[in-house]
Amino acid sequence: MPLLEPKPGALRPRTGADHTPAADRVPQERAHGTPQPLRGDLEQLLGAEKVLAKVSDLVRYASDASPYRFIPQVVVLAEDATDVAAVLSYAHEHGRDVVFRAAGTSLNGQAQGEDILIDVRRHWAGVEVLEEGRQARIRPGTTVFRTNAALAPHGRTLGPDPASAIACTVGGVVANNASGMTAGTTRNSYRTVASLTCVLASGTVVDTADPAADEKLARSEPGLCEGLMALKAEIEADTRLVARIRAKYELKNTNGYRLDAFLDGTTPVEILRGLMVGSQGTLGFLAEFVFDTLPLHRRTSTGLFFFPSLSAAAAAVPRFNEAGAMSVELMDGNTLRASVSVSGVPQDWADLPKETTALLVEFRSPDDAVREEREQAARAVLADLDLVAPVPSVTNELTRDPGTIASYWKARKAFVTAVGGSRPSGTTLITEDFAVPPSRLAEACEALLELQERHGFDAAVAGHAAHGNLHFLLAFDAANPEDVARYAAFMDDFCHMTVERFDGSLKAEHATGRNIAPFLELEWGPEATELMWRTKRLLDPAGVLAPGVLLDRDPRAHLRGLKSIPSVEAIADPCIECGFCEPTCPSEDLTTTPRQRIVLRREMLRQRPGSLVGENLLASYGYDAVDTCAGDSTCALDCPVGIDTGAMMKSFRHARHSPREERTAARTAQHFARVERSARLAVAAADQLRRRLRGRDGALGDRMLKAVTGAARKAVRPDLVPEWLPEIPAPAAGRLPATSRQLASAVYYPACVNRIFGDPDGYQGASLPEAMVTVSARAGRPVWIPEDVTGTCCATIWHSKGYEAGNTLMANRMVEAAWRWTDGGELPLVVDASSCTLGMAEEVVPYLTPANRKLHEGLTIVDSLVWAAQELLPRLTVESRVASAVLHPTCSMRHLGDEAELRQVAQACAHEVVVPLDAGCCAFAGDRGLLHEELTASATAREAAEVGRRSYDAYLSANRTCEIGMDHATGDRGYHSVIQELERATRPR
C-alpha cells in the first residue's frame, strides 16, 4: 500500500438530505459495465484493447450535444473497416444493433445507442490534399477545422462550414449532410462529395470511385443492385413524385433520406453515393471521402447590423442576398444578450432591448475590384434600412478588420452553447432548425415567436437567414412531466405550422435525428416516407444500424430518453455537453475529456448515495478524470461559455490532499531555495550516473534511474513522485550570468525550470539565461537578473496540483519580489518560460492579498517571446539562418495570445518555419508528464508523427518542460528555446 493515499471520499458529490435520485439514472444492474457474453465475444473478436466495458466508459459515451441520453451496452474502438465489418457481422449473427459515434456534436441523438456503440473518431483522422488542393481525401474522424487548415495553404476550403467546425468531424458532417453559414443547397456534402467509401450493413465495402465498383457490387450484392434500380424506376415513373422531390430540395432539407439520389444517380453505386450522404449512420458506415473543394476567397468584408425587431431584420435579408452576400446570419435579442458570456463580445450587449435583432452579413471576394463592387452594393442597401444603435458598442458599419470580423463570428458560432450556458440550472436544452422559402422568412419569424409565447417559452432564435434557415433553442426540465408535456405540445404545433403553413423543411441541416423522426411522414407524406422505409429495408434488412435515429413509427419516440441535468459544481453547471472542448484536450485519446468529466459527475448526482453505480464511477474518476487532466485549461478557450474544467480538476486535487500533504507542500514553498538546489543536485547526480555507464550500455543508467523512481512511486504515490525519463537533460549551471542593474531596460526572471534543467543532450550553444542576456545586450536592451531569484517561483507548481497554502505563499512572495526588483513596476519583468509568464500574469491573482493585488496591477510582466519580437528583433541584424525550423506552440502561449510572436522570432532564425497542423498541448504540464508518461505520449502522438515525417534544422519552443516532453515524444530531436536560436542567428560572424 502506498505511503500516501488520497483522502478517502474527497471526490464524492455532496448531496443534501432532500436529494432525490433521477428517474433516468443508470440502473444498478449496469454497475459492472458490459455484461457477458457480449464483452467476452467482442474482446475475442477484436482484442481487449478495442473494447471499453467499464460502467464509467458507458456513461461517458452516453451523452452528446443533444437532449437525449442512451446508455450503450459496450463501446468499441474500431481501428479500420475490417473491425467495423466484423462488428456488423457479429451484430447480424446475434440480433444486436450498432450506432456509430465520432465527435458527438450531433444535436438530435444521432451519436447514441443502447447496444453496441462504435467510436469512429479516435483512429480515423487524416487528410490527404489532392490535385493541388482541388480535392481532398478525408477520413471520417477528422475535424472540419483540421481539414480546412490543411487546405488553406492551397487557397481552398470545404463547402460545408458548420458552426461547430472546431469540434465536429467530417464523417458526422457527411452523415448528417450538415451545411452551415454559407453552404446553402449548392455547397453541402451532397453536392461536393466526389466519392466515398462505405461499409454496408452486410459488411460489404464499396468505394464509389472505383471504376469497377458497380461490377463488384453486382457480384457481392445482386439483390441490392436490383432493388436500387427498381426503386429508381418506380420513382421516375411518377412525375408528380419527381416534381415533389425536386421541390423539397430547393430548400435546405436534411429530413429523411435523399430521395433525389434516385434521380441524380444512373447506376446502383451512384445512387448509393447519394443515399449515404445524410443517412445518419442508418444505411452503412462512411469510412472515407473525396471532396471537391472550393476557392477560399480571402478578401472579406463584414458588418453586424442591428434592427429594432426580428421581423425588420428578416425583411432586409433578400436585399443583402441581391447585393451578393455570401452569408446573412440572424441573431435575435436573446441570442445577442446571452453572447456576452463569450470572450470578446461587448458587455453592453446585455443591455440591448429584447426586440433587437442583428444581421451578420459577410461578402467574400476573389480580388480587390470585386470587393469594392460588393461593398458599394452593401452600402446602397444600408442607406435604405432603418437601423438602430441602442448601446455604445453598436456601429452598424462594414469592416475589413480581421479581429473585428473574428469577434462577430465568435459570437454567432457560440449561439447554441452561449444561450444554452445561460439557461436555468437543471434544464435540458433542445436545438431545432427548420427552413422556409426565404421570401417568407419574416412571416415565419413572427409565427415562431407567437408559438413560443403561446407555449410559455422564451426561446432564442438565430440562423442562416440567407437560406430561410432558422434555429431556435428551448430549455425545459426533462425531469418534470409537466414541462415535458409542454414541450411535446409545442413540437406538435411547430411541426404542423412549418409543414402546413410554409411547406418548409422540419430539418434544414441538423438531420432528422430522434426528435423529428416521428414527424417525418408529416413533412414527406405516406408515399415518400414508405419509399424511405423500403430503402432502409433494402440496405439494412435486419435493422442493425441506428434504430430510431431516422425512421420511427412511434409518435412519442422523441420524448423517450430525454436527459435530466443534475446540478453539479458551479463552474461546470452551464455545460450543455456540446463537445467543443474535446479536440483540444490532451487526454482525449487516453481517458476522459472535459465534457466527459462533467457527464460522469452528473451521473454520480443522478444516483442514490452509496449506490453501486456511483461507487464504481468514483473508483474510476480519480485516475480517469483528475490525475490525467493536464490542467492546461485550453478547454476554457474553446468552450463558448468559458468553462474551465482544468480548474475544477485542480480543486478536486486539493480536496484529495491530506493535511499532511498540504503542510509538506507549504514547507516546500517556504524553503524553496533549498528545494531548488537539491533538485539541481539530483539532476546532476543522475546525469553523472548516466554518463558513467554510457560507455558500457547507453541505456543502463536510464533503466536504473527508472527502476529507482518506479519503486519510489509505488511506495509513496504515483501522482506525487516523478518518473525518470531518458530525455531529462543535464543540470543547469550553478551560477546565472553576471548582469548589471545599472542601465538595464528590463528585469530578467529565469524561471526555476531553467535554473534546474540545462539543455538537451547534444545541444551546442549558449544556455537560455546566457542567450537572453547576450542577445538583449546585443540589441541595446540589456537585462538584469536579480541576485536573489533563487527560491522564488511563479507558483504554478503548487497551483497545478491544487496545493492552496503553498500556492498562496509563493504567489505573494513572487509578487513582492517582482515589485522590489522592478522598482515598483518601473521596469518590465521578462520571463523566459511561457507557463511561468502565464502563472505570474494571471494565475497568481486570486491568491494574492489585497495589498499585493494592487502591487500586481502595477507590474508589467512580459513573456520572452514578446520581448524578443517587440524589443530585440527591430534592433538586431540577422547574420545566419538555418534552412528549416519546426515550432511547438505551448498551451500557455494560447492563453497569452503570443503564438504569433513565436513564429515571428523563428522566422528571423530560419528560412522555413513550420507549425504542425496537429500541434497542441503536450500535457507535460510542469511535471505531469513525469507523473503520467502515458498522458504526454497520448497528447503528442499526432504532432510527433507529423514532426517525424521529415527532419528540421531546429526544433523550437519557449518552455523547458514542454521541450523535454516534445523530445520524449519525437525521439530526442533537441527542442530548445527560440531565444537561444535567436542568439545564434544574430551572433556576429
Query: Cα(416)–Cα(105) distance, rounded to whole angstroms?
Result: 11
β-strands 135-138, 284-292: how paired?
antiparallel
More confident residue, 17 or 405: 405
* pLDDT tens digits, 154-165: 999 999 999 899
578-590 per-position pLDDT tens digit: 999 999 999 999 9
In terms of domains, do 711 and 845 share one? yes
d(CA 280, CA 511): 7
Q: Is 407 exposed, middle or buried (0-12, 13-18, 19+ CB in 10 A)?
A: middle
In a domain, residue 290? The reply is: no
Quick check: is 964 in a domain? yes
Say if CB 22 and CB 479 are below 8 A apart: yes
The three-point CA angle 537-540-545 to 5° equals: 125
Same domain, 876 and 789: no
pLDDT score of 598 more than 60 = yes
What's the total number of domains in the chain?
4
Q: What local confidence, expressed as pLDDT, does residue 762 receive? A: 85
CA distance 203 to 12: 45
- In the chain, the percentage of residues whose pLDDT exceeds 90 is 84
Spatial separation of the C-alpha atoms in residues 160 and 148, rounded to whole Å: 10
Which residues lie below 8 Å from residue 374, measured CB to CB, with a gap of 6+?
Answer: 301, 323, 324, 363, 365
Q: Do residues 570 and 480 share a domain? A: no
pLDDT at 2: 54
When pLDDT is cut at 50, 70 and 90, the band that residue 114 belongs to is very high
Mean pLDDT of 29-47: 98
Report d(CA 766, CA 210) in Å as an integer. Answer: 57
Q: How far apart are CA 723 and CA 931, in angstroms?
A: 6
Domain boundary among the residues 508, 524, 541 is at 508
Q: Pick the last residue of a domain from 844, 862, 880.
A: 862
Strands 357-365 and 205-207 turn out to be unpaired
Alpha-carbon span 804 to 800, nearest angstrom:
10
Residue 721 has pLDDT above 80, yes or no: no
pLDDT of residue 7: 75
Average pLDDT over residues 723-751: 91
pTM as predicted: 0.95
On whether both 574 and 481 belong to a single domain, the answer is no
User: Is the per-residue pLDDT at 113 higher than 80?
Assistant: yes
Question: Which of left, alpha, beta for 155 (phi over 0: left; psi -120 to 50: alpha)?
Answer: left
Q: What is the pLDDT of residues 187-206, one digit of tens each?
A: 999 999 999 999 999 999 99
Asked whether residue 696 carries a pLDDT value surpassing 60, the answer given is no
Query: pLDDT-derived band of residue 686, with 50, 70 and 90 as boundaries?
Result: confident
The residue among 609, 627, 644 that closes a domain is: 644
pLDDT class of 722 with cuts at 50, 70, 90: confident
Q: Is residue 351 part of a domain?
A: yes
- Give me the mean pLDDT over the 150-179 stretch: 96
Cα–Cα distance for residue pair 255/274, rounded to 1 Å: 14
Q: Which pLDDT score is estimated for 715?
A: 63
Q: What is the pLDDT of residue 417?
A: 73
Q: pLDDT value at position 952?
A: 98
Average the pLDDT over 121-142 and give the result: 97
On whether residue 899 sits in a domain, the answer given is yes
In this prediction, residues 886-912 reach a mean pLDDT of: 97
Is residue 445 situated within a structural domain?
yes
Inside any domain, residue 190: no
The pLDDT of residue 499: 98
Helix (H) or strand (E) holding 537: helix 520-539
836 and 932 assigned to the same domain = no
> Residue 315 sits in which domain range?
299-508
Judgement on whether residues 323 and 451 belong to the same structural domain of the protein: yes
Kindly state whether residues 740 and 797 are assigned to the same domain: yes
- Of all residues in the chain, the percent with pLDDT exceeding 70 is 97
Indicate whether 695 and 841 sit together in one domain: yes
Which pLDDT band holds residue 5 (cuts at 50, 70, 90)? low
Segment among 155-164, 332-341, 346-355, 386-395 with least mean pLDDT: 332-341
Torsion angle of C-alpha atoms 974, 980, 984, 986, degrees rounded to 10: 150
* DSSP-derived secondary structure for 822-846: TTTTTS-EEESSHHHHHIIIIITGG
262-288 mean pLDDT: 98
Do residue 503 and residue 393 come from a single domain? Answer: yes
Alpha carbon of residue 873 to chain centroid: 34
Beta partners for 515? none
Examine residue 832 and state whether it is found in any structural domain, yes or no. Answer: yes
- Please give the mean pLDDT across all residues of the chain: 93
Q: Are residues 802 and 704 in the same domain?
A: yes
Over residues 406-454, the pLDDT tens digits come to 989 888 887 877 777 778 888 998 889 999 998 899 899 889 989 999 9
Q: Is residue 309 part of a domain?
A: yes
The verdict on 857 and 891 lying in the same domain is: no
What's the confidence (pLDDT) of residue 870? Answer: 98
Q: What CATH number is given to the structural domain containing 464?
A: 3.40.462.10
Within this chain, do residues 481 and 622 fall inside the same structural domain, yes or no?
Answer: no
Residue 340 has pLDDT above 90, yes or no: no
pLDDT band at 1 (very low <50, low <70, confident <90, very high): very low
